[in-house]
């Protein structure tokens, strides 16, 4: 199975900060990567698919980039609603696998 | 409005069985593959498995840890997906989410999870 490793595991930031989360795959997954946001007690929500495509209705401050084995999720200006845990997930091959998550906390 | 509602979660003893349902509305169920993802208490997300559209054979894929114990099926006439869980273990304790899959074709079929239900809780304990 392809392993997905996110860094950092926890990130402390302030409103207005630019935030970047990295996700690395143990082998090439082309651009078959999605990013999800999860708030406590809630279901995950799709933010980005195919590494850089923004899901309908997701604010444009979210962006994704990368291909092959290295990917990033960037929040250009962190808003109060963005404090949550973020997961990357590869869907290049079975079993689909998630990163361990990055918790974005208030500094 | 697209909606997925999971049900059937319960407290069960190890070795017993349980069937979860995912009742959907707001879209043409038969046009989509469907998947299940779980999250153990305080842990990250784990993909469990998925079923392709009936038109694509309705075949299934599973994560190794549930293969042979869990079965995903679908009833297109009722717009419901199911997760049959047999020989349950304590490590199967989790919130189980149903997800809709968006399909992309690019020399092969690729799927990503575009809509999620709110989840149902399964606790396996004696």
pLDDT tens, N- to C-terminus, chain B (126 residues): 999 999 999 999 999 999 999 999 999 999 999 999 999 999 999 999 999 999 999 999 999 999 999 999 999 999 999 999 999 999 999 999 999 999 999 889 999 999 999 999 999 999
Distance CA A47, CA B21 (A): 26
Contact A44 B45 (CB under 8 A): yes
For residue B35, give the chain A residue with the closest CA: A96
Strands B18-25 and B80-85: antiparallel
Contact A98 B119 (CB under 8 A): no
For residue B62, give the chain A residue with the closest CA: A95
The whole-angstrom distance between A43's CA and the closest CA on chain B is 5
Strand partners, B62: B49
> Confidence band (pLDDT; 50, 70, 90) for A94?
confident
Contact A43 B46 (CB under 8 A): no
> Which residues numbered 29-88 in A keep a CB inside 8 Å of some CB on B?
32, 34, 36, 38, 42-46, 49-50, 55, 87
pLDDT in tens, A21-52: 999 999 999 999 999 999 999 999 999 999 99
Distance CA B51, CA B61 (A): 7
Chain B residues at the A interface, defined by Cβ less than 8 Å, are 37, 44-47, 61-64, 97, 102, 104, 110-119
- Going by C-beta distance under 8 Å and a sequence separation of 6 or more, which residues neighbour residue B10? B18, B122, B123
Phi-psi region of B74 (alpha: psi -120 to 50; beta: other; left: phi over 0): beta
């Amino acid at each position: 199975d392809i392993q997905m490793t996110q860094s950092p595991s926890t990130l402390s930031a302030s409103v207005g900060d630019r935030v970047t989360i990295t996700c690395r795959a143990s082998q090439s997954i082309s651009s078959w990567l999605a990013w999800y946001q999860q708030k406590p007690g809630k279901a995950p929500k799709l933010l980005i698919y195919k590494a850089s495509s923004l899901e309908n209705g997701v604010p444009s401050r979210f962006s994704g980039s990368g291909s092959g084995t290295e990917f990033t999720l960037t929040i250009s200006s962190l808003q109060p609603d963005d404090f949550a845990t973020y997961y990357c997930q590869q869907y290049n091959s079975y079993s689909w696998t998630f990163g361990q998550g990055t918790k974005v906390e208030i500094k | 409005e697209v909606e997925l509602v999971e049900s059937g979660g319960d407290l069960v003893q190890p070795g017993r069985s349980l069937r979860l349902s995912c009742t959907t509305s707001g879209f043409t169920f038969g046009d989509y593959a469907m998947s299940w993802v779980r999250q153990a208490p305080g842990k990250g997300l784990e993909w469990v498995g998925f079923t392709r559209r009936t038109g694509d054979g309705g075949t299934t894929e599973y994560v190794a840890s549930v293969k042979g114990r869990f079965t995903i099926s679908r009833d297109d006439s009722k717009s419901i997906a199911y997760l049959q869980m047999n020989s349950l273990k304590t490590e199967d304790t989790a919130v189980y989410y149903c997800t809709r899959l968006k399909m992309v074709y690019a020399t092969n079929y690729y799927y990503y999870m575009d809509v999620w239900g709110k989840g149902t809780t399964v606790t396996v304990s004696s």
